[in-house]
Amino acid sequence: MPRHDLLPASRIIGYVESSRNCNFRCSFCAMTAEDRAFIAYDLDDIRRQIDALGYRQCVMFLDQNFFGGPRSYFAARMALLKELFEQGKFGGWAALVTADFFANADNLARARESGCIGFFSGVESFSRVQLTAFNKKQNLLQPQEEIIQSCLEAGLVFHYGLIFDLVEQRIDELLAETDFIVANPHITLPSFLGFAIPMLAHRLQEASVLRGAMVMTAAVFAIYPFAATPWMMAGCAMLLGLALGAVQPMIMSALHHLTPSHRHGEAIGFRSMAINLSSSVMPLGFGLAGTALGPAAVFWLMGAAVGAGSWAVAGLKRAFSAPAG
Ligand code: SF4
């Protein structure tokens, strides 16, 4: 049971899970790569999680697919949520569902009467060709613009994202999608557009991206002390953001790839611990070093440390090419 009591008290939003993993296998998704079976939690567990939260204006289900599993299980969860909603345990709930949820209009009605306020669903593309390429067959059951419209007409918020695959799609195809959305007043705008990582990951190995990012970071630290104007500093900050931002999602996939599955939690925990430790210790250490040696020396020290680390990444290439144990 999550220790909600450790977080600062909030009445706005609380997070709950009723299942793990996904019953679909979309080609671009990390869930497909992890290849784990869909698991549904029992109703008592969900009830305990909601009780442990205390009253929240919105209970958000973090499941990959809230609609996964047998339909009888979905009906039982709707009945439980209706009961808890009528008891005033929360002000509303929201969840991530796959497009097959919308194929039956009764599902929206049931969700609405049990206190649902909205959904997130991965639209990814309005093109049937692209959805087929993504192996997103559940999104081919009905036109996606009709799904969005039916959800909005039921009085429920509809959030979604689009994925642009620049390896397979042309720019004019992407523009046609955005033109289609903007020209359609009956559907909402996407909450996000994603495309950069598939493009990078398709062409480059994780170790190469990691090494490139570290070399670029070291170079930015080396030249930063010479940045004499705000524009030069902004340019350096932009390059730094680009280098660190490009590699960040790959760190998680590399951790999963390199670590045996039964030690994933340990690896992610160690990563969080290292980040928190460095966030506490480094400002203090750099403050001391900056006072003693000057700010430029701090940049160069950091640059040298990151640059030296990039050599160690070369040794990881063999590990990346071997399957995790
Ligand atoms: S439905 Fe969503 S979570 Fe499931 S595999 Fe597809 S993208 Fe991933």
Domains of the chain with bracketed CATH: 4-195 (3.20.20.70), 204-321 (no CATH)
CA distance 48 to 178: 43
Q: How far apart are CA 227 and CA 217, in angstroms?
A: 15
Q: Is the CB of 97 under 6 A from ligand 1?
A: no
Atom of ligand 1 at shortest range from CA of 138: 1
Answer whether 68 contacts ligand 1 (Cβ < 6 A).
Answer: no
SS3 14: strand
Phi, psi torsion values for 30, nearest 5 degrees: -60, -30
Which residue type, as a one-letter code, is found at position 240? Answer: L
Q: How far is the CA of 64 from the centre of ligand 1 (A)?
A: 7
**pLDDT reported for residue 295:** 87
- Print pLDDT tens along the chain (325 aa): 777 777 777 789 999 999 999 999 998 887 887 788 999 999 999 999 999 999 999 999 999 999 999 999 999 999 999 999 999 999 999 999 999 999 999 999 999 999 999 999 999 999 999 999 889 999 999 999 999 999 999 999 999 999 888 778 888 988 999 999 999 999 999 998 886 555 555 566 777 888 888 899 999 999 999 998 989 999 999 899 888 877 776 777 777 777 887 787 788 788 888 888 888 888 888 889 889 989 899 999 989 988 888 877 777 766 666 554 4
Is 24 close to ligand 1, i.e. is its CB under 6 Å away?
yes
CB 240 within 8 A of CB 227: no
> Ligand 1 centre and the CA of 31: distance in Å?
7
pLDDT at 106: 95
Q: Does the C-beta of 118 come closer than 6 Å to ligand 1?
A: no
187 Cβ below 6 A of ligand 1: no
Whose Cα sits closest to atom 6 in ligand 1?
Answer: 26
pLDDT of residue 318: 66
Q: What confidence score (pLDDT) does residue 132 get?
A: 93
* Cα–Cα distances in angstroms (integers) from residue 276 to residues 211, 214, 296, 302, in the given order: 23, 20, 25, 18
Instruction: Enter the tokens of residue 72.
Output: 């009888």
Angle at 265 between CA 259 and CA 269, to 5 degrees: 105
User: Ligand 1 atom 1: the closest Cα is on which residue?
Assistant: 24
C-alpha 18/C-alpha 23 separation (Å) is: 14
Ligand 1 atom showing the smallest separation from residue 22 Cα: 4
Q: Which of 23, 27, 28, 31 to mutate to test the pocket of ligand 1 (most atoms within 8 A of CB)?
A: 31
End-to-end Cα, the chain, rounded Å: 29
Q: Which of 18, 82, 63, 13 is nearest to 44 (CA)?
A: 18
Which atom of ligand 1 lies nearest, measured to the CA of 98? 1
- In contact, 165 and 198? CB cutoff 8 Å: yes
pLDDT computed for residue 324 by the predictor: 47
Q: How far does the centroid of ligand 1 lie from the alpha carbon of residue 184, in Å?
A: 26
Q: Is the CB of 67 under 6 A from ligand 1?
A: no
> Which of 64, 135, 159 is the best mutation target for the ligand 1 pocket, counting ligand atoms within 8 Å of the beta carbon and taking the most?
64
d(CA 251, CA 295): 29
Radius of gyration of the chain, Cα coordinates, nearest whole angstrom: 24
9: CA distance to ligand 1 center in Å?
32
Phi-psi region of 256 (alpha: psi -120 to 50; beta: other; left: phi over 0): alpha
**Which pLDDT value is given to residue 325?**
47
| DSSP secondary structure letter of residue 12 | S
Hunting for tokens 């951790």 — which residue is that?
255
Q: Is the CB of 194 under 6 A from ligand 1?
A: no
